[in-house]
Structure 1
Amino acid sequence: MSLQFVMGGAGSGKTRYLYETAIKQAVEQPDRLFLFVVPEQYTMQTQKELVRLHPRKGLMNMDVLSFKRLAYRVFEDLGVQVPAVLDDMGKSMVLRKVAGMVRRDLGLYGSHLEQPGFISQLKSQISELGQYGIRPEDLKQVEAETDHPLLKDKLKDLGVIYKSFRDYIEDHYITAEEILDILCRELPRWEKLKNSVIYLDGYTGFTPVQYRLAELFMLHAREVVCTVTVDLRENPYEKCGIQHLFYMGRHTVCRLKELADRHHVEIKQEIRCDRRPGWRFKDSESLDFLEQNLYRYTGKVWAGKKPDIRLCQGKTPAEEAAYICTMVNRLVREDGLRYREIAVITGDPVSYGRELIHPFEEAGIPYFMD
């Protein structure tokens, strides 16, 4: 039982270190299981990269899972029967039904139930309450403690709907968020875990139930290795305020360390990925400079050669979209890039998404809206 952190800034090579270390150990110790637990949308890319780097071009005694996929793997091995799981559409249908049933008990939300998108927002709120283990009783407690009238009304209505939702699905369905609660109960019985090395990669932080699973990993697995994005010029083991740029990374380190200390789990010396320039920016010193100083307010100014950053200004979103479309075509036709190597990132995906769809389709540019 041990815990080890791999720390560094973005693009510093944390994930690459995990891949190379895991592959080397997997070849040397074929009887041991090496599990990568990564976010759901990251599993396929991780599998692809591990296969590419592996000398035998196969995962063999390695596996890549998200927390949810790990749950189903454990349930399958242990023969655990799980009730029917409500998907997003099912949640929305149940919420619409129960909200209608308790409509007369709703003060603030009663007049909004027919508004487009309201049930969808309510579904997202209910899902988040489930992720963080919030019960209807907890909402009542917060409602009693607050002096803000509007917040009190919202908490009251949300509590009524949430309780009705829980009562309606009880003994018939479970939500996707409850799968991890079941996993917490069953995981200690999974024999494969005792001979496993667990790699936690790609997370900026964990929900309470995921911390419970990380605690079980530390108690029952041979070793847990977790990557954390922090600024190594500061002490990552020191707590900081929520306004700090790397609050989530440092909070993760402190929380996992507390769990390890509580159970007397060995904490190994951390791996510090501090190569400069970072691996991701080895061909661009200006981007490496940006990564080290963005939102740091150090007062430093780039004084090197022409940076790999260009600032352009458009009068309207439509003008910006047209410029982006032109740039994408130029990068593909003249610079040899592939469409999958280009990303358009915006703080307002709804508005800019509408502006981008038409010029992209006219130019025949394939795209995926996330």
Structure 2
Amino acid sequence: MGLRLLLGRTGTGKTRRCLEEVRAELEKEPLGPPLILITPDQATFNMERELALLGGSLRAQVYSFRRLAYRVLREAGGAARLPVSELGRRMILKKILLEERDRLALMGALVSRPGFLSSLSELIGELKMCRITPEDLGELIEAPRGDQQNNGWNGKRPEPVTGMDEGPVSPGGQGGPACSPVQDRKPHIPAGPGGDLKTAAPVVMPGGLLERKLADLYLVYRRLAMDLAGRFADPDDYLDLLARQVSRADFLKDCRVWLDGFASFTPQEYAVLQALLVKARDITVTLTLDPALAAGRPAEYDPFVVSWETRRRLHRLARQAGMAVREEYLEPDRNWRLAKAPDLAHLERRYFHYPTVQYAGPVKRVQLFAAVSPRAEVEGVARAVRR
């Protein structure tokens, strides 16, 4: 069991390596434990097509995080409740805003404004993605202004894992203390007498505009959680459910997992990875990162800074799980994807580097196109694609 990071620049063969390893496993043991490839939602079709070109197999399966959640919840439990669509959540939010209009300092007057429900629903989705519950907002509101720096809220995005040091991590670092189980993040929702939220005391948070916005958001968010509890399932909660149910999914026992196409992960996805590290035989994560930058943190404007930070967090996650981390670097000078396009290969390597280096060969695949509007620009690109 362990975590392997497959690092290399764009086009150096990271996806190719994953598929070759899957093919080798299928040839060695066609009916063994599952081989799971996890990609972003928009990349699952391409990965399934590449897998089909290998001959196809019931053992090898392609998932996004959301599709893996559906699969696990069907087996381990949690998929029985009716899912709420994005439109359904907006309808529930409008009902809540109308019922709580007298207690809302700002949002009550915005319920009929075009686009407001969409923005509010998107905000709540982002809070869930970052694993921020109504209880967390309540703690922030209840804390005095001077104590907000000491109550666990400092205005920064919460870390996906806890109990780790913040220092730099050397490549190939060994595991540390044992991993604690993924916490059950069910929100605690204050209510009035008899459990009726509508009879609860109004949220009072004197102060500026931000404080009143947070108070309104807290009230709406906790009402939404209570209205959905026990009856409906919000798809934005599926990854939290997945993290809790991975240990009960028998089909994942001793599986091998490859994650390809990600530059970073959300806190929910880190929680899923934390659970998979315990369940799977091994996990491979590909990251687009220049090996020359692995030793030290790149500059903030560097295109690889996001991947470098993801690498650091994955090291910390594995150390918390008590597992070793292996890193493999693919040859930076061997670009499989751009082998027949040297001008594009030069652009990929030099575009963000200073001082610039001029390409000496003939330019055949790079064109500059000026358009009078974004629509004309899109139409020009479409014509070029059709040609």
Tell me which interval the TM-score lies in, with the shorter structure as reference length. Answer: 0.7 to 0.9
Amino acid at match of 1:14: K
Deviations 1:310-334 (A, max 9, x none): 11223344544554454344x1xxx
Deviation at 1:69, TM superposition (A): 1.8
Deviation at 1:109, TM superposition (A): 2.5
Amino acid at match of 1:247: V
Q: Following superposition of structure 1 onto structure 2, how do residues 1-370 of structure 1 map, counting pairs within 5 Å? A: 1-30=1-30, 31-52=32-53, 54=54, 57-78=55-76, 80-142=78-140, 144=145, 145=148, 149-235=208-294, 238-239=296-297, 243-268=301-326, 270-317=327-374, 319-321=376-378, 323-324=380-381, 326-329=383-386, 331=387
Deviation at 1:294, TM superposition (A): 2.6
Deviations 1:332-351 (A, max 9, x none): xxxxxxxxxxxxxxxxxxxx
Deviation at 1:254, TM superposition (A): 1.2
Q: Secondary structure, in 3 states, of the residue corresponding to 2:340? A: coil
2:105–2:212 contact (8 Å) kept in structure 1: yes
1:26–1:32 contact (8 Å) kept in structure 2: no
State how many pairs are aligned: 325
Amino acid at match of 2:370: Q
- Structure 1 residues 98, 301: CA separation in 2 closer, same or farther (over 3 Å shift)? same
Which whole-Å CA distance do the structure 2 matches of 1:142 and 1:44 have between them? 42
Deviation at 1:105, TM superposition (A): 2.2
2:93–2:224 contact (8 Å) kept in structure 1: yes
Q: Secondary structure, in 3 states, of the residue corresponding to 2:132? A: coil
Which whole-Å CA distance do the structure 1 matches of 2:237 and 2:375 have between them? 43
Identity %: 28
Q: TM-score, normalised by structure 1?
A: 0.80
Consecutive unaligned residues in structure 1, runs of 5 or more: 332-370
2:78–2:241 contact (8 Å) kept in structure 1: no
Deviation at 1:214, TM superposition (A): 0.8
Which whole-Å CA distance do the structure 1 matches of 2:78 and 2:94 have between them? 31
- Structure 1 residues 241, 136: CA separation in 2 closer, same or farther (over 3 Å shift)? farther
1:219–1:265 contact (8 Å) kept in structure 2: no
1:84–1:173 contact (8 Å) kept in structure 2: yes
Deviation at 1:222, TM superposition (A): 0.7
Partner residue, 2:180: none
Q: TM-score, normalised by structure 2?
A: 0.77
- Structure 1 residues 246, 139: CA separation in 2 closer, same or farther (over 3 Å shift)? farther
Deviation at 1:243, TM superposition (A): 4.9
2:9–2:332 contact (8 Å) kept in structure 1: no
Deviation at 1:160, TM superposition (A): 2.0
Deviations 1:171-216 (A, max 9, x none): 2212112122222222112223222101111112111121111112
Amino acid at match of 1:199: W
Consecutive unaligned residues in structure 2, runs of 5 or more: 149-154, 156-205
Deviation at 1:258, TM superposition (A): 1.0
- Structure richer in helix, relative to its length: 1
Which whole-Å CA distance do the structure 1 matches of 2:222 and 2:35 have between them? 41
Which whole-Å CA distance do the structure 2 matches of 1:228 and 1:19 have between them? 15
2:70–2:79 contact (8 Å) kept in structure 1: no
Deviation at 1:91, TM superposition (A): 0.6
2:291–2:332 contact (8 Å) kept in structure 1: no
Amino acid at match of 1:76: R
Bigger drift between 291-300 and 8-17 goes to 291-300
Bigger drift between 109-118 and 139-148 goes to 139-148
Deviation at 1:293, TM superposition (A): 2.3
Partner residue, 2:197: none
- Structure 1 residues 119, 199: CA separation in 2 closer, same or farther (over 3 Å shift)? same
Which whole-Å CA distance do the structure 2 matches of 1:105 and 1:46 have between them? 50
Deviations 1:7-34 (A, max 9, x none): 1122221111101111112211232321
Q: Secondary structure, in 3 states, of the residue corresponding to 1:301? A: coil
Which whole-Å CA distance do the structure 2 matches of 1:273 and 1:281 have between them? 15
Q: Secondary structure, in 3 states, of the residue corresponding to 2:253? A: helix
Choose between structure 1 and 2 for higher RCO, CA contacts under 8 A separated by at least 6 residues.
2
